[in-house]
Structure 1
Amino acid sequence: MDLATLWPQLSTAAACLDAQQQLHVPNPALCELLGLGARRLEGMTLASLAPARPELVEAFRRVLAEQRVVQLRDVALGDASGAMVAVDLTLSPLGAGGALLEVHALAPSGRESTAQLSESLRGFAHEVKNPLAGLRGAAQLIARRVADEGVKELADLVIAEADRLAQLANRLLQGSISSPFAPVNIHEVLERVAVLLASQGQAVVVRDFDPSLPPLRGDADRLLQLFLNIGRNALEAGADRVGLRSRAEHSARIHDRIVRLALRVDVIDNGGGVAPELADTLFLPMVSSRPDGSGLGLALCREIAAEHGGALNYRSRGDETVFSLLLPYGENHG
């Protein structure tokens, strides 16, 4: 697929900024958020989007000068009706002196925060529930008829994943993609990830958990998706060993702020690593090292991290690649 096909699929509102801070190729999500057509947004400057926040211009300069991601929280953008939309902004460096602008809408209070989904998406959610029910029923029959405990465990895994997809379909039908945040035991999420990864190949999954970590508020399904995306990328890169490690981190830096206490989860693999030419753009949409890759997986992972007020980064050390998720305790959105 080409950029024109994949760019509209990104759920995060986004656009490219040139060296003069002018918007280019705003995606449909940004147009919908602001109620403005692509032609209206094309060529608008960063400053004109939020005239009350002059620090946006300085943030853009820091992105170019330091070649790092900068986030700004609770920025008011004007929409087509003249009303203000509260958002978080992320600026990421691109080549040729530009930046990628990502806009994360902050949920308003009350029932009006429920997302309005298209009828086609609702139809898809409705139709997918039927084959999921059949898949779940077949797995239940297998679990009842076989004596092999290993096969029963795999059948239970199929049932659990079918239930997770059915819950997602229900959320779509109810008009909300995201669940309200609730206390999450991160080790239950990571254990599920470990079982799923082990079922997909010959890789050894190593668990290194800190049992003293308290729960944090979040969306367990979204976090599961984040870790699964990273783990599956590792398997596709040829890893035969994937480590899942949890730790507490004090005075952690998350983008431009220091938080008193954060959860750190590392996904460590010995696969082929990240190509040097992708190092600066790995988390951007449409960037992939695989010919058949969409380049949306890691962009989605970073989107999920941002939803939780956190940050996702990676580093290579020797023959290992480490993706690290930092989530603040007591400061999560939702």
Structure 2
Amino acid sequence: MDTNLLLNHLLTAVLVIDEKLQPTYVNAAAEQLLGLSAHKLQEQPLTENLHSLGIDPKVLKNAIAAQQGLTVNTAQLMVLDGQHHTVDLTLVPMEHEPTQPLCSLLELRQVDQQRRIHQQLSLDAQQQAAQFLVRNLAHEIKNPLGGLRGAAQLLSRELNDAHLQEFTTLIIEQADRLRNLVDRLLGPQRPSQHQVLNIHMVIQKVLNLISVTLPPHIRLRQDYDPSIPDLPMDEDQLQQAILNVVQNAIQALEQQESGEIMIRTRTAHQVTIGTQRHKLALQLSIIDNGPGIAPALVDTLFYPMVTGRKDGSGLGLSIAHNIARLHGGRIDCNSAPGHTEFTLTLPINLDQDN
């Protein structure tokens, strides 16, 4: 069996590096993790193609020189495009001839994916329980609201005094407002009819809408992968999900003198969503350089009515999460001061019928 073919089927990133940390071999998983081609990675030392490896490079160099093994658990890896990964790092010395340079096998196994899967399953269960509660509550609210609104309409017809009719109009308006709030809490509950569309077209419609009211100190940037194939989606729902996240980013940057929002699309291979593994997936990232999300909110960020703003409804991210779920995908958040990234992941089925 071809060893190179075998290594390229591994989910673990594998590199062979010398004493200068220069890669001499890179498998496909390492290309995916580091966001660079094997050719590019082999041009210079590994440290030049990363922001941070999560370990002092001198420690790696000394271990290779001494032909010693090394293991580091939960190292914080940050690649050039700003993405953070938690990896288990293993360095294993390789046998060599006396005339050959010293080399070691470096394995980088992502463990943030397992944590993300666990968080997603937990979040889905919590959200379904919350939606079940809200659905039952909505039923109890809508029935008396409908009666209240109907009674106000009948009373309005019987009143000849315009001043008194103002009060019945107020009752009707507030009843409608409460009904709309309950409907927003529920959000979309079942998959709708999907059409095969281009994700960049959907994003552009959102950006056209946002640009009308975008504060002048905030700049929008786009970094698209044009090779991403069209995929089935509910256009209105996905527009709403993207709009909700972009609006959150804008609000996070309102108090800064300047800010930037990056919209980025990429493909990812061998992605697990829930309990299903997909060969190919779309990753749509919305990144801002705002102050970040309060640590106390991170674990409950996608729950209904959870917000860090005084005037926030706490519904935008909950609805976005639900829309992602209805499309067979997920939405994740990675936040630190100066870098908050929401990533919408949707499976791509290349065998789908267009």
Structure of larger gyration radius: 2
- TM-score normalized by the length of structure 1: 0.48
- TM-score normalized by the length of structure 2: 0.46
